[in-house]
Amino acid sequence: MFDTVVIKARPIHLESEALLSTENCKSVTFLNKETGVLQTRYEIYDEQLSYIKYLDGSQTLSIQVSIPKLLYGNNVTLINQQDIPRFFERVQERIYQLFSIKIPHSEWSISRADICWNFQAGKDVGEYVRMLSKQKLAFKNTRSFNQDQTVEFFNKSSRIIFYDKQRQMQKEKALPEIVEQSKGILRLEIKPSDNDMKKFSPTKNAVELLNKQFFDYMTTKVLNEIEYPSSVSTLDFSWVMENKQNISKIETLLGFQVLQDTFEESALRQLYTPSTYANRKTLAKKMTIPTGNCLEPLAINQ
């Protein structure tokens, strides 16, 4: 549901002595170019909350932490709505242990919230990544890397990533049981833009964003954009006969799908004028040819 988040609270007054007395604390003093005042940034690498940052000038306390790692010790396990209150309680407990202060849950805002889901794709994880790497989502660039293990759709404000979770766990040398747990998982991670978050909470309040409604909104928007190429070898002849008045469109669409299966998005755009390419994409969305899908559509069931 959610993985890594960055939450912030301000104004929070913390004494430098309390910050420097914690383990693994580093401090850097710098000149604020806007105010001309010397400020200090404190960075703490904590065993529970991962990364804590405090800016004394703005009295801003920031925490970057993986919610499932905090609650379950790994980020292969998916959290659910019932885990969110536990997360806030754990954060509050740890902040009190470190600094003897309590920050109400409602005071936290979000600057980053990674939405995630595990699709059990079995042996087809690589096939999904290859299929997705040939697509382009609205207003985003596409790139793939790690030999068909990862595909990313991105722009300046947001990112959508699909990748082989087991391969990642193997690279990170995770415990054998975690590697086994991640077997066959096609992982989806969405890093929403500020605009996406502000649609649900103008102040980006953490309590208002870390919920199923925001999760459903973001994942539905992404999954609805994905197209699934069909296998021509399983084309239904009786359907073609019933629709032979549209045979020209059928031929055009099948040819376009073959090209989609063969070439990257950037190469396809070189084959058509912008208007023709847009027409082909529109035709692909409007016309449904009853053929066998190469891959089952990704769906979230919870």
CATH 3.30.310 positions along the chain are 108-226
Average pLDDT, the chain: 91
Residues 151-174, mean pLDDT to the nearest whole number: 96
pLDDT band at 44 (very low <50, low <70, confident <90, very high): very high
**Fold exhibited by the domain 108-226:** TATA-Binding Protein (3.30.310)
194, pLDDT greater than 90? yes
pLDDT of 129: 92
Could you give the CA distance from residue 200 to residue 20 in angstroms, rounded to a whole number? 37
Could you give the CA distance from residue 188 to residue 114 in angstroms, rounded to a whole number? 10
SS3 268: helix
Could you give the CA distance from residue 65 to residue 72 in angstroms, rounded to a whole number? 13
Long-range contact set of residues 239-247: C-beta below 8 Å, sequence gap at least 24: 239/289, 239/290, 246/287
Where residue 91 falls (left for φ over 0; alpha for ψ -120 to 50; beta otherwise) is: alpha
Judge contact between 152 and 160, C-beta under 8 A: yes
137, pLDDT greater than 70? yes
| % of the chain beyond a pLDDT of 90 | 71
**Which residues have C-beta within 8 Å of that of residue 244, sequence separation ≥ 6?**
none
Residues 15-43, mean pLDDT to the nearest whole number: 91
Could you give the CA distance from residue 209 to residue 231 in angstroms, rounded to a whole number? 40
pLDDT of 287: 79
Of 70-84, 99-113, 260-274, the one with minimum mean pLDDT is 260-274
Judge contact between 166 and 180, C-beta under 8 A: no
Higher pLDDT, 289 or 238: 238
Q: Which two tokens stand for residue 161?
A: 């990533």
Residues 93-107, mean pLDDT to the nearest whole number: 96
The model scores a pTM over 0.85: no
